Amino acid sequence: MVFRKPPDGGWGWVIVLVSFFTQFLCYGSPLAVGVLYLEWLDAFGEGKGKTAWVGSLANGIGLLASPVCSICVSSFGARPVAIFSGFMVAGGLMMSSFAPNIYFLYVSYGIVVGLGCGLLYTATVTITCQYFDKRRGLALGLISTGSSVGLFIYAALQRELIELYGLDGCLLIVGALSLNILACGSLMRPLESSGSPPSEKNCVDKVPDQYFVYHEKGKTVEENISILEKGYVDEKCVNNIPDCKQDSILNKNVLSSINVNEKDTYKKKVVEQTNFCKQLAKRKWQLYLTYWKETVVLFKNKVFSALFVAILLFDIGGFPPSLLMEDVARSANINEDDYYMPLISIIGIMTTVGKLILGILADFKWVNTLYLYVTTLLMTGVALFAIPFAKSYLTLAMLSGILGFLTGNWSIFPYVTTKTVGIEKLTHAYGILMFFAGLGNSLGPPIVGWFYDWTQEYDTAFYFSGFCVLLGGFLLLLAALPCWNACTNQGSKLPPNTYSYKVASS
């Protein structure tokens, strides 16, 4: 498949629109799961730590499975994956309405819905990047607000549906709404080349480099063996592997042992395919070794190591408020008549504002994105410490707005990662960081819930959450200080392909 140059418009804006609604429909219920969390507590009578696993799995499993999601989108394309994932999200939500116990919800809502959301997120981001180049930042920013708007609307919608139709009816209706993802996915037309197909000569030249299966018709065994040998030797020489000459001689000796005049065609084919499999296995092994070597090099970068710890601790401590804030208000005996708006809705709308404002600030040259990110972490830790002192709806609403705004730092996280490891390593590094972010999302709410089950109050739980976020922020700040970098770089040279974070903006 040959892709033409991204049009930066045209049908691309349709892609942005359907991607926005896709994230709105798939992430609305999982992000606003705090409303359902209260109902599940009353329905199943389980502990808060055990019940919190449902929402944490729904939000974390997609990030944990991000490598698998990327492989699926790369193999099948964004449109088929989006349509299939739409069935997963809708089916998982509808199955959850028939859940007999909390363990059924772990699978139906936590794993099925969560994995569907992860696949849809990867599909929307991939198809948007294919259609946009110069305006890619704007396009990705627009579709990312879909999840935040979904959190804002679904928090009030699910509460109203529960009052009218009960918990089971709410999940059935929300699942039916998610079927609209199928319509959105059908509009994700792949960006294909409309020009003439490449010439036969060019196709033949590309066969050795891409390891396409050889054509048995029209080529003799000798020609197939020659192509196979040339492809493997060229691949190793391009990657500067020192023993490419030795392998070339070895392959020639092995292949020359085949008697081309032998009439047993089946035996020739078996020998040829066996040699092809061996060479393919060697190539894959070299790719795996290269991947792990690059991973080790990344962790030798002190700022990246601190960033990995910071994102893990931030998600352990900073994610639970979006899930548990409604239960915090109920535990504080706040009268429901005082509610002007669900606290989760406030978090959702302020997250949208935070993404936009922090993203705009990151584009200014005089703003250091790493220090801006560290500032959001430290302020989040302070806000978490203040939650135990909030005893009224107004104070909880203010803290929810502050936490929602600071959670918008997800919009500048790719900037920070790029500055830390360089654009060449961004995909590799971002995949690692997102895996640990998903781990933090999965562990945070159950840990806070266990603290409540142990102490019967949320104060200790949010002190722990605030400590985690502050610790991650201080570690990242320490790793980025100019004096620290100067001391650590005097005696040792930075590993190749890594970048020290320049604290002073150019």
What's the pLDDT score for residue 52? 85
pLDDT tens for residues 288-306? 677 677 777 777 888 888 8
Supply 108's token pair: 């139906």
d(CA 82, CA 19) in angstroms, rounded, equals: 10
Task: Check whether 498 has a pLDDT greater than 60.
Answer: no
Instruction: To the nearest 10°, report the CA torsion of 377, 379, 383, 386.
Output: 120
Per domain, the residue ranges of the chain are 1-192, 301-485
Q: Give the domain 1-192 fold.
A: Growth Hormone; Chain: A; (1.20.1250)
Phi and psi, residue 434, nearest 5°: -70, -30
User: Fold identical between 1-192 and 301-485?
Assistant: yes
Task: Check whether 211 has a pLDDT greater than 50.
Answer: no
CB 173 within 8 A of CB 165: yes
CB 438 within 8 A of CB 287: no
Residue that is written with structure tokens 């028939």 in the block: 98
Mean pLDDT, rounded, for 390-416: 86
Give the distance between the most distant pair of CA atoms in the chain: 91
Average pLDDT, the chain: 77
Mention every residue, 6+ apart, whose C-beta is less than 8 A from residue 261. none
Mean pLDDT, rounded, for 171-180: 94
Task: For residue 75, count other CB atoms closer than 10 A to its CB.
Answer: 9
Q: Which CATH architecture has domain 301-485?
A: Up-down Bundle (1.20)
Mean pLDDT, rounded, for 108-113: 93
CB 373 within 8 A of CB 459: no
d(CA 212, CA 203) in angstroms, rounded, equals: 10
d(CA 92, CA 119) in angstroms, rounded, equals: 14
Closest CA to 417 of 357, 476, 334: 476
Task: Check whether 410 has a pLDDT greater than 90.
Answer: no
Task: Check whether 210 has a pLDDT greater than 60.
Answer: no
d(CA 216, CA 265) in angstroms, rounded, equals: 12
Report yes or no on whether pTM surpasses 0.85: no
The beta-strand segments (E) located in 52-109 are none
